[in-house]
Amino acid sequence: MATHPAITATGIKQPLTVINVPTRTPQGREVQVRVEWVPAAPLDVYQVDAGLMAEFPQCLGDSGAGTVVATGPEVQHLSTGDRVFGFFFHNAHEKGQQVYITAPEHLFGKVGPRHGSLRGCGDLPTNFCTSFYTLSDKLQLDLPWPRPASFTPSDVDRPILIWGAGSSVGHFAVQILKYWGYTNVLVTASSKHHEKLKAYGARHAFDYRDPNIVASITSCISDYVGSGNGGSLRVFDTITSKHSSLAPIAKIATLPGSIVAAVLPVVINPASDPAGLQLSADLAAEAEWAPGVQVHPVISYAYEANEFLRDHLQPDIMATLLAQGAIEPNKIRIVDGDSLLERATRAMEIMRSGTVSGERLVWRVWTAAEFPEY
Ligand SMILES: NC(=O)c1ccc[n+]([C@@H]2O[C@H](COP(=O)([O-])OP(=O)(O)OC[C@H]3O[C@@H](n4cnc5c(N)ncnc54)[C@H](OP(=O)(O)O)[C@@H]3O)[C@@H](O)[C@H]2O)c1
């Protein structure tokens, strides 16, 4: 049986290791991709330090970019040699931090000459999908695809708050809203990101560390909320920290009919806290929500339940917006190391430290020098 190396977590807080895992031959509409770049993601830390959605030994990563090396007999849109990026998550064969993944073709977008570097594309899929799915499905915003010529959303001036727009998920959300024409987008982020976020389409930017942030945002939106000028508030919490995002949002989003969507898990304590990482899955219980406010947890793996998004989000919407320059990937920082294990371990340590700000860590999985046999 053919095998290949995979970064694997063997238990909670255990050092990462490399093991050889079976290489799945693509069936039906599956493609086999040699993974060249992966992003480091907060989920890596949640899995290794808290066992979130982990069954040890657990291979890590749900996003990446690489080259198609084999296709199943029913594949329609991809060919051997295509460069692709993808968000893949069904099973162990689809984890990104391994030399080969085998996954259905709808989980990939094709990287063309106008998409920029493969390493830059590797950052995109998970967080773009999360943002698009949340804005369209959970917050019920008007994002038709393809966007009709001269399109204006029916609630064009509805106030929409993106909490944590400095994050990878958040910065895609702001750009998506601009593309579809929403005009009253408010964001929270460190001040150093405000200029860039306004260029992406944010109308107002607030520093989430400001002790008066609840009053500042409430005052800003009072002109719009409930005035008939766009109606109630929509909030996308891209951070979901019990203390530093959910608590203030619960005080801001109080008008009945408002909708809050927040990515899971709820972070009670981050990994950088001396008390250690502590997570919760109970969004409703982790803040005092006002009556009449809808609160939706987001697990982006669920986007495939929407058949249109399943078929179009990665191969079509994401790939097209990136090629058009309507969506800009995050600034990237390359994590180097002499071996696959060294790169993965370094990336994990930086993610744990909580120092990533306005950038994405990316690192190489397959390299010709380290793995010439693949
Ligand atoms: N449930 C799902 O399906 C799903 C999918 C994707 C991601 N996620 C989760 O979404 C979260 C964000 O992921 P990511 O990859 O986008 O993270 P990321 O880019 O690594 O986020 C880092 C950013 O978070 C910002 N930040 C930290 N605390 C903040 C706070 N209290 N308020 C506002 N901003 C804050 C910082 O902004 P500044 O630089 O402005 O300080 C920093 O730039 C993670 O918890 C991840 O696990 C969940």
Ligand 1 within 6 A of CB of 166:
yes
Query: Phi then psi for 281, rounded to 5 degrees?
Result: -110, 5
- Ligand 1, atom 37, lies closest to the CA of 166
Predicted local confidence at residue 24, as pLDDT: 97
Tokens of 312: 């179009």
> Which of the listed residues 134, 169, 278, 303 should we mutate to test ligand 1's pocket, taking the one with most ligand atoms within 8 A of CB?
169
Determine the Cα–Cα distance for residues 266 and 106; give it in Å rounded to an integer.
29
238 C-beta closer than 6 A to ligand 1: yes
Strand 3-9 to strand 58-59: parallel, antiparallel, or no bridges (unpaired)?
antiparallel
Report how far residue 104's alpha carbon sits from residue 89's, in angstroms, rounded to the nearest whole number. Answer: 10
Residue 2, Cβ density class (10 Å: 0-12 exposed, 13-18 middle, ≥19 buried): exposed
Dihedral over Cα of 122, 125, 128, 130: its sign: negative
Residue-level pLDDT, tens digit, the chain, 374 residues? 999 999 999 999 999 999 999 999 999 999 999 999 999 999 999 999 999 999 999 999 999 999 999 999 999 999 999 999 999 999 989 999 999 999 999 999 999 887 778 887 777 899 999 999 999 999 999 999 999 999 999 999 999 999 999 999 999 999 999 999 999 999 999 999 999 999 999 999 999 999 999 999 999 998 776 555 556 899 999 999 999 999 999 999 999 999 999 999 999 999 999 999 999 999 999 999 999 999 999 999 999 999 999 999 999 999 999 989 999 999 999 999 999 999 999 999 999 999 999 999 999 999 999 999 99
- Separation CA 177–CA 187 (nearest Å): 12
pLDDT value for 65: 96
Q: 208 in ligand 1 pocket by Cβ < 6 Å?
A: yes
Which residues, in sequence order, are bridge partners of residue 362? Answer: 39, 334
Determine the pLDDT at residue 228. Answer: 55
pLDDT of residue 223: 75
What's the pLDDT at 232?
85
Distance between CA atoms of residues 65 and 274, nearest Å: 35
In this prediction, residue 226 carries a pLDDT of 59
- What CATH number does the domain located at 3-123+329-364 have? 3.90.180.10
Instruction: For 127-302, give the CATH class.
Output: alpha beta
Domain assignments of the chain as residue spans, ordered by start: 3-123+329-364, 127-302
Can you say whether residue 59 is alpha, beta or left, with left for phi > 0 and alpha for psi between -120 and 50 degrees?
Answer: beta
